[in-house]
Structures are given as structure tokens and as C-alpha cells.
Structure 1
Amino acid sequence: MPFECSQCGECCSHLGLVHTIREEYGDYRYLVNNEYTGEKTTVSVDPDKILLFCDRSIFADRPEACPFFRYNRNEEKGYCTVHLTRPEICRDYGCWRMLILDKEGKRAGRIMCQSFLASEDERLTRLFEERINTLSGLTDAAWDERVIHELAGAGYTVLM
């Protein structure tokens, strides 16, 4: 199943540490620098997001947010205001391989890359360490199947 963004904004909430504005060209055009790779990208604010871009209130709650990320509180959705011209690293990003929900349907964790668990749910973390991190020699499909089985048996729901 292809990755679909839920627009939660977690991925972009710390990208201000990665992407910095090097130069402002005017007309909502900017030169962006990737602080880790040195890659520079010229971006333009999407015409339909200029008003959203002008609202800088997000930085009060998320001071490390990407300089082009904005959150619409009315819609409870995050937006990349330079989506059409965003840097390559942003184009390649996929938030999770598996999304793990607890019994109430709330996010308990994410499996990212091949098998990295990002979670603050202690029960899920312990289960992952004891029953899933020990899995080896499986194909990706077999690993996915086994992980889903283990998590479902513990009362979690897995979305892919």
C-alpha cells in the first residue's frame, strides 16, 4: 500500500533543525539549505498557501518546525507551504512502515524504515523488544506477517 500522509505534522515539526532559509529572493521565493548535507534548494510558497505561510504562530508551539511548515488548527492538519517545490529529501520521506494503534484506536507507535520502533507506549516497547526484535532471517513479507500477528495478539491494530 503506498504511503498516505495524515498531515499530523510530526515529520516537519523538527525540520527547522535541518532546513534553514539562506536567502529570500522576494515574491515568496527562498533558498533553503540542508544543514546536514549542504544541499541547497530554491523553493516557492504555493500560491494557495500564501496566507497560511504568513501565519507564523506555529513557532510558538513548535519552535523547531520547518520554516515552511504550518498547522491549520481549524482543520487539525499540517501543511507544507512549499509542497510543489519542496526539497528532494522531503519528497522521499515516508513517515512509517506500520502504524500501531492501541485498543482505543489511538496511535501507540510507528515502525519506521525496516524495523525501528518509535513509541512512548511502555507495553508496546517491551513487547517489541521481547518478541519482535529477536526475529531474524525472515523476508520482509514474512516479518510483516509475524509482527502483525504478535501485535494483534496483544490487542494492537496495525495499519500499513
Structure 2
Amino acid sequence: MEKDYGEQRYLIRNCYTGERTAVQISPGLLHRFLDDETSGERPEACPFFRFDPDERKGYCCVHLTRPAICRDYGCWRILISNADGERLGRIMGSRHLSTEDPKLLALFRDETAALSPLPDSDWDDAVILILRRAGYTVSV
């Protein structure tokens, strides 16, 4: 963070490219941003990243205004698209599906529960097979 403008607005600078971006804490994530436990446990992490250990899920507190480098970063293990190439979801981090597609969500919920004992690489292979059999295109 290069400058704190107040009211949860900051100027950040990419230490590699020098690019500067004004960002703002997303209103629904202010409570997470104010909890700085993540920065103590993960000092190398982005200052706007927060991890919820109970949910086993990470949050970008400036997601709506994040810089270009973050927008370009593929934050996923498995990217899921339909036959037309439209992105429908992604599996991130610790087997978390991020999607707003109800059919994909139901398939994931119904078909992957029994896979939980598998090691990650075997779990990924099994999920990819399930998704492809259901007609989805998968990128890894």
C-alpha cells in the first residue's frame, strides 16, 4: 500500500511493474479486512487477502477494484466452461467450487461428496471425469 486515502480507499503500487492502482474495500468485506489475522499468519500474502479457516476459503477484499495483474491471474485449479466456451465455474484452493450456475452446483454437490478421502491429484482427476461426462469443458 502506497497511500491510505481514508474511507477504505488505498493507492497500491505493483513492486514489479511500478503500476499504481486505486482500490477500495468492498462493502461486504470490510469486516474481513479489519480482521488482520491473515497478515500475521501469512505475512507474504497480499495485504487485501483474508483467509477464513472455518470456511476454508480466501477472500480478496478489493475484488471489485483489484489491479490488472490480479484480474489476469488465474485463481483456480480447474476452470469449467460450457460447450460454447462460456465460463461457468472454477474450483479453487481446497476443493471449493465457485459458480452461480445451479446445475453445475448440484452436479458438484451430488457427485463429489464421496470423493473427499482421495488425495488432491486423484480428486482432481475424478472431478474432471465427472465434469467431462456431464458435457462440460475443463481446463487445468
C-alpha distance 156-59 of structure 1, shift in aligned 2 (>3 A): closer
TM-score normalised by structure 2 residue count? 0.58
C-alpha distance 54-96 of structure 1, shift in aligned 2 (>3 A): closer
The amino acid across from 1:50 in the alignment is: L
- Counterpart selection for 2:119 from 78, 83, 106: 106
Tell me the number of residue pairs that the alignment of Structure 1 and Structure 2 aligns: 94
Offset of 1:72 from its aligned partner? Answer: 1.5
Deviations 1:100-126 (A, max 9, x none): x9x943324xxxxxxxxxxxxxxxxxx
- What is the rounded CA distance, in whole Å, between the counterparts of 1:156 and 1:78 in structure 2? 20
- What is the rounded CA distance, in whole Å, between the counterparts of 1:66 and 1:156 in structure 2? 27
Name the % identity: 47
- What is the rounded CA distance, in whole Å, between the counterparts of 2:54 and 2:33 in structure 1? 15
C-alpha distance 37-58 of structure 1, shift in aligned 2 (>3 A): same
C-alpha distance 97-76 of structure 1, shift in aligned 2 (>3 A): closer
- What is the rounded CA distance, in whole Å, between the counterparts of 1:97 and 1:52 in structure 2? 24
User: Normalized per residue, which structure has more helix?
Assistant: 2
Larger radius of gyration: 1
TM-score normalised by structure 1 residue count? 0.51
- What is the rounded CA distance, in whole Å, between the counterparts of 2:124 and 2:71 in structure 1? 30
RMSD: 2.7
| Paired residues for 1:142-153 under 5 Å | none
Structure 1 residues not aligned, in runs of 5+: 1-20, 109-151
C-alpha distance 106-52 of structure 1, shift in aligned 2 (>3 A): same
Offset of 1:50 from its aligned partner? Answer: 0.5
